[in-house]
Structure 1
Amino acid sequence: MSEKTNAKPAVWFWIVSVLALLWNLMGVMAYLGQAYMTDEMKAEYPSDQLALIESTPAWATAAFAIAVWGGLLGCIALLARKKWAKPVLILSLLGILVQFAYSFFMTNAAEIYGQVQGVITPLLVIIIGIALVQFARIAEKRNWIS
């Protein structure tokens, strides 16, 4: 049985991986900003947005954490050319789906935040999450990660 050798990744692999890492770092910053919100920060929010944030159940917050930290770790694994990037990015995608299932179906977030922040941005996050899993599959198939 012959062992597959690692192929040299295309330049676009590195570009996409770095952009994905930066995207996920923004997600981590959003999570940390929400998780460690100070009273001064809370005072800047409209009351309906703050009430929505503060009423978020622990399981939805955990899904948010899994989504962003999994995405960050998965992108680091891509840059390190590790095969475990794919399952970690799948876990991140599951976190994204759970988080936004709560947001879309169990809250009035779209009404409170508006169409862009309440609908379009979450859909963009889901699409990028799916794309990153597909990207990891392509990288694995081309032996760019092992």
Structure 2
Amino acid sequence: MTDETEIWHLMPVAILAILWNLAGCADYVLTQYGVAPYLQILTQSNAEYFTSLPSALDGAWAIAVWGGLLGSVMLFLRLGAAPWVLGVAALAMLGSAGWLILFAVPPLVEVSGLFGVAMIAGAAGMATFFYLYARQMRVAGALG
């Protein structure tokens, strides 16, 4: 792709994706390490819920946030594998959100209310958006 035909929105979206996924990584690390000032933002039941998730869900959450960050950096660098990495991250996020909303005991809505469900669904939506965007940029020839 030449400079004359460069897609103007690629860099702003890539930077937004990096910032979004950095926030997700920070949330993951602060929750996993049980950083008290961070967990005090949550209610006690929320803090206990998110610090006692099953290992498989913790793994999916890790893949979602760290894969999202890696894929976002790859998108910024215009690497052709970015859609693959972002796709895996989106699947992990969709799986995590689906499990928390539909199968967790107790379900997320009982612990965090509709706001918690909206937050996790929004995070899954953003992960899906970044994957679809990267895929479209690959098809358009903007990625290597």
TM-score by length of structure 1 reads: 0.86
Partner residue in 2 for 1:3: none
Q: 1:121 to 1:140 in 2, by over 3 A?
A: same
* 1:99-110 superposed matches below 5 A: 99-105=96-102, 106=104, 107-110=106-109
Contact 1:89/1:129 (8 A) holds in 2:
yes
Q: Percent sequence identity over matched residues? A: 26
Matched, 1:113 2:103: no
Structure exhibiting the larger radius of gyration computed from Cα positions: 1
Q: CA deviation at 1:34?
A: 0.7
Alpha-carbon RMSD across the aligned residues, in angstroms, is 1.8
Deviations along 1:81-105, one digit per CA (max 9) or x if unpaired, are 1011011001101110121122112
**Secondary structure of the residue that 1:97 maps to in structure 2?**
helix
The whole-number CA distance in structure 2 between the counterparts of 1:30 and 1:40 is 12
1:21-100 maps to which residues of 2 (within 5 A)?
21-38=18-35, 45-100=42-97
Instruction: Identify unmatched segments of 5+ residues in structure 1.
Output: 1-5
Match of 1:13 among 10, 13, 38: 10
Q: CA deviation at 1:25?
A: 0.5
Pairs aligned (count): 140
d(CA) in 2 for partners of 1:128, 1:36: 25
Q: In structure 1, what residue type is equivalent to 2:31?
A: Q
Q: Name stretches of at least 5 consecutive residues in structure 2 with no aligned partner.
A: none
The CA deviation string for residues 31-72 of structure 1, in whole angstroms up to 9 with x for no partner, is 011111145655665332233123310000011100000000
Relative contact order: is structure 1 or structure 2 higher (C-alpha 8 Å, sep ≥ 6)? 1
Moved over 4 A (4+): 39-45
Structure 2 equivalent of residue 122 of structure 1: 120
Distance verdict in 2 for CA 1:73–1:33, change over 3 Å: same
